[in-house]
Amino acid sequence: MASEIEKRRRRKAALQTLEDLGRKEEHVLLVHYSCESFYDRPEGQTPRVTSIAVRNYLSAQTVSFSIHKIAEVERVDVSDIENNYDRLEKEMLEEFFNFLRERKTHIWVHWNMRDINYGFPALEHRFRVLGGKPEILEDSQKVDLARLLIALYGARYTGHPRLESLMKKNGMTDLNFLTGKEEADAFENKEYVKLHQSTLRKVDVFSNILGRTLDGSLKTNARWFDIHGMNPNLWAEVAAQHWVVVLIGLAASVLSIGLAIANIF
């Protein structure tokens, strides 16, 4: 468990990140993608990516990439998409990484897209598996909104699952919103449009949450001292560290005096 001093440090860093986002709104992008379930995969293959959405925070313009859109352009019947998954997924990811290449200096805000199970590394790996060469986005250009909120408001700022709980507390509609499991089920049922709509809905939700965080109107379960970093336990830690410093200082002083006396005699 992080100490209160460490939590305060993280909150200070999160406030700086929030300030940066507010100053660069036109270069802030919100991203989400849907995929197969990454559970129950005994052979260890990474889940297939089905759709990706990217929304500009300031303009609200949203660009999306999906298997079913590629299939439509190439006149592949919906019933035949499954037989062309690899080719369609590769073309979709190629479009996405070309888009990313032109926006590598933007700030990409996401929700828990951190690892090979689900995240930018998973997208990169899928493209490599299909024979592509992904564009790598530097970690300095990524902001995990889920972790940012924890740093700002504390781990208990809302219930679990956090995203759905936060939406409900703030009166955000769940129209077209699917949970991760529901998205995976939709893929299994070949409900590609439903998947796509959920992906689009989630970047809209992220934008809403970010906006309310920036203007201070986001409703959470956080207590006043959680938000302001004034937890009483902090003072105990500061006091403990303060006395350690004092004792070290006193010991150093006694040693200096002892050496001085020794030199005199």
Q: 195 and 244: one domain? A: no
Q: 131 and 9: one domain? A: yes
**Exposure string over 118-146, b if 16+ CB within 10 A, otherwise e:** bbbbbbbebbeebebebbebeeeebbbbb
- Read off the pLDDT of residues 60-93 as tens digits, 9 standing for 90 and up: 999 999 999 999 999 999 899 999 999 999 999 9
Q: 143 and 189: one domain? A: yes
Q: 257 and 182: one domain? A: no
Q: 50 and 68: one domain? A: yes
Backbone angles phi, psi at 167, to 5 degrees: -60, -45
Q: Are 238 and 232 in contact, with CB atoms under 8 Å apart?
A: no
Residue 202 has pLDDT above 80, yes or no: yes
Q: 156 and 258: one domain? A: no
Q: 72 and 178: one domain? A: yes
Domain harbouring 118, CATH code: 3.30.420
Q: 196 and 179: one domain? A: yes
- Read off the pLDDT of residues 16-50 as tens digits, 9 standing for 90 and up: 999 999 999 999 999 999 998 877 665 677 899 99
Q: 20 and 128: one domain? A: yes
Q: 150 and 252: one domain? A: no
> In Å, how far from its chain's centre is CA 176?
21
pTM of this prediction? 0.84
Q: Are 92 and 49 in contact, with CB atoms under 8 Å apart?
A: yes
Q: 47 and 140: one domain? A: yes
- Read off the pLDDT of residues 80-126 as tens digits, 9 standing for 90 and up: 999 999 999 999 999 999 999 999 999 999 999 999 989 999 999 99
Q: 114 and 169: one domain? A: yes
Domain of residue 257 covers: 232-265
Count the domains in the chain.
2
